[in-house]
């Protein structure tokens, strides 16, 4: 996979999008490989992380519990400065830090949240396929043992240390391609 080709693909699908003009790094999520790549085209600091996408597969419909595909942007960053493992409910820190990182009982959102917003009308934006109104995030999890397996309820789960590292690199409006 050539990162420059992916960048050109996104530019062709989103002509005139201001997020492309800055030539910012971007994120590519490969659901088939359960990997997230943070890509900086002009630098040698690209990183790849194992992730967990939806147990129900890929899809953009509301209430499908599937991970949405297509081009997105980071609309909000939530949790900066929170302790590693902080549990969030309704995007608010609970004050409780997850101590069990093999928690298969609950789909806890931990450490950091990158709230995604779809950019493709009728694909992942608007109507019954709107990623933002589905509350789809890239986030930490208390179920780290199953990272690398598709077991989420639609979000993209990461290990806590990994999502903190990614959060510190990403800016609001950075692009995210989910395939």
Mean pLDDT of the chain, nearest integer: 92
Domain containing 106: what range?
3-178
pLDDT, residue 118, reads 96
Number of domains into which the chain is organized: 1
**Distance between CA 137 and CA 29 in Å, rounded?**
12
Q: What is the b/e burial string over 89-101, where b = at least 16 CB atoms within 10 angstroms of the residue's CB? A: eeeebeeebbeeb
When comparing pLDDT for 133 and 13, which is higher?
A: 133
Task: With cut-offs at 50, 70 and 90, classify the pLDDT of residue 79.
Answer: very high
**CATH number of domain containing 71:** 2.40.440.10
What predicted TM-score, i.e. pTM, was given to this entire model?
Answer: 0.93
């Amino acid at each position: 996979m050539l990162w420059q080709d992916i960048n050109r693909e996104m530019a062709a699908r989103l002509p005139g999008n201001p997020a492309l003009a800055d030539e910012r790094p971007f994120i590519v999520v490969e659901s088939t490989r359960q990997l997230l790549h943070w890509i900086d085209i002009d630098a040698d600091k690209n990183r790849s992380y194992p992730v967990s996408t939806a147990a129900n597969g890929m899809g953009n419909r509301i209430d499908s519990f599937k991970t949405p595909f297509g081009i997105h942007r980071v609309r909000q960053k939530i949790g900066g400065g929170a302790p590693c493992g902080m549990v969030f409910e309704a995007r608010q820190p609970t004050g409780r830090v997850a101590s069990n990182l093999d928690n298969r009982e609950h789909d806890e959102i931990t450490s950091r949240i990158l709230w995604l917003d779809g950019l493709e009308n009728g694909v992942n934006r608007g109507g019954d396929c709107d990623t933002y109104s589905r509350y789809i995030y890239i986030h930490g999890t208390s179920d780290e043992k199953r990272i690398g397996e598709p077991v989420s309820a639609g979000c993209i789960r990461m290990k806590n240390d990994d999502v903190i590292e990614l959060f510190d690199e990403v800016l609001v409006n950075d692009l995210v391609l989910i395939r």
